[in-house]
Amino acid sequence: MNPRTAKALKRAALVLFALVLALAGAEAFLRTVHPMYGTLLTADDYRLSDNPEIGYEPLPNAGDHNSDGLRDKEYSKEKPPGVFRVVVIGDSLAYGLGVSRDQTWSSVLERLLNEKFPGQFEIINLAVPGYDIVQVVEWFKKKGLAYHPDLVVYHYWLNDVVQDCSPTEKALWERGQVHGLVKNRLLRRLAETAFRLQVVRRSWFFFKNMEKGREKERLCGLPQEKIEDLMGREAYLLWRNFANMIQEDNLSRFAFYKDYANLANFVRLNREFKELAAACKKADAPCWLLLTPLFRDKNPYPWHPLHAFIHDMGALYGMQYLDLSFLAQMPARAASLDHQHPSALGHRLIAAAILDAVTNRQ
């Protein structure tokens, strides 16, 4: 080997070592300071749905899913006599991403209620990671109504209004086709291993969000004269006042506020709340909106106006509201795994808060 080649190889090795060191440092920093929690949705645990609005759904008897594809123990479709049945809907927060099945707030709450009122409560968890509001409502109509609920609790999250953009890895499922990465077992294992890295996870979502941003730019705005007829005057005025407030207070620089000022997103929110309320009315089951906070956020908590807007929207359709934003100030990050997902302690705190609400509202 001539000296020039040896020198080039040595330089390349140093650059590679520096790059690995930098990535290791970035990974350690992100895991410690600002982790993003998630898991790949693969063909081992999920399948394509026959409903294109749902897209994908849990695979029955896979992992800790029951025979109906729910992350819960087995329940009969017919409600036992004397039992008050609650159906929980939502995404990865209610699903319990990062905690075991028996640590989810729905499981904890069922145990707490039956300690007070033995054998009188069943709480069935229909939540699925990555679902947006359209998928949540369609999944409830497909699965939840069959369980004859006495109460429906929607564990709403601030990004549920955004279509096809979520902090989970449903990006592997698009346009009714499963990517080859999901089908190939070896590649899937490699992807799962790589995706445990914060650096890889964030890079993936950075490019996916860029793609979704380009799609949103192509959305055509609705003609102004048709907006009020489409949404109803009261809903439209709520949104217009909220959008004006965002503009006046310069809140559009914050992602969530910007999402709700987007007309297409709001039309979707309004339509799905209306659809959910109609389905619950048909089942003779009231609907509660449960909203947990963005954890580990600034003090004071900056999202109260958005929480209030979601409360007002739910109230339009007769939904009761339970705001747990106080959890954002839990010390030592004890209540959360990351900025969105509750830890096991967080799930226990949510269950305790709901128990208190159930007791007070009976």
> Are residue 21 and residue 56 in the same domain, yes or no?
no
More confident site: 324 or 254: 324
Domain CATH number, residue 127: 3.40.50.1110
Q: What's the confidence (pLDDT) of residue 298?
A: 64
Are 162 and 265 in contact by the 8 Å Cβ rule? The answer is yes
Query: How confident is the model over 309-355, as pLDDT tens digits?
Result: 999 999 999 999 999 988 887 755 567 777 888 999 999 999 999 99
pLDDT reported for residue 166: 40
Looking at the structure, tell me whether residues 235 and 340 fall in a common domain.
Answer: yes
Place of tokens 């939904």: 319
Q: What is the mean pLDDT of the chain?
A: 81
Q: Are 7 and 60 members of one domain?
A: no
Q: Distance between terminal CA atoms of the chain? A: 83
Q: Are residues 93 and 174 in the same domain?
A: yes
Q: Are residues 335 and 221 part of one domain?
A: yes
The DSSP-derived string for 291-303 is: E---TT--SS-TT
Q: Among candidates 132, 315, 96, which has minimal Cα distance to 212? A: 132
Which position has the token pair 């949510």?
350
Determine the 3-state secondary structure of 210 from DSSP: helix
What would the pLDDT profile of 112-157 be if each residue is shown by its tens digit? Answer: 999 999 999 999 999 998 889 999 999 999 999 999 999 999 999 9
Claim to verify: residue 314 and residue 255 sit in the same structural domain? yes
Q: In this predicted model, which residue has the larger pLDDT, 361 or 79?
A: 79
Residue 359 has a pLDDT of 74
The residue segments making up the domain with residue 352 are 34-361
Residue 106 reports pLDDT greater than 90: yes
Structural domains in the chain (count): 2
Residue 169: per-residue pLDDT: 40
Same domain, 172 and 23: no
pLDDT band at 185 (very low <50, low <70, confident <90, very high): low
Residues 1, 66 share a domain: no
pLDDT at 221: 47
The DSSP code sequence of 312-349 is HHHHHTT-EEEE-GGGGG-GGGTTBSSSSSB-HHHHHH
Do residues 287 and 330 share a domain? yes
- Whether 362 and 355 have beta carbons less than 8 Å apart is answered as no
Are 24 and 135 contained in the same domain? no
pLDDT tens column, 76-91: 999 999 999 999 999 9
- My answer on whether 18 and 158 are in the same domain is no
Q: What is the pLDDT of residue 216?
A: 43
71 and 101 both lie in a single domain:
yes
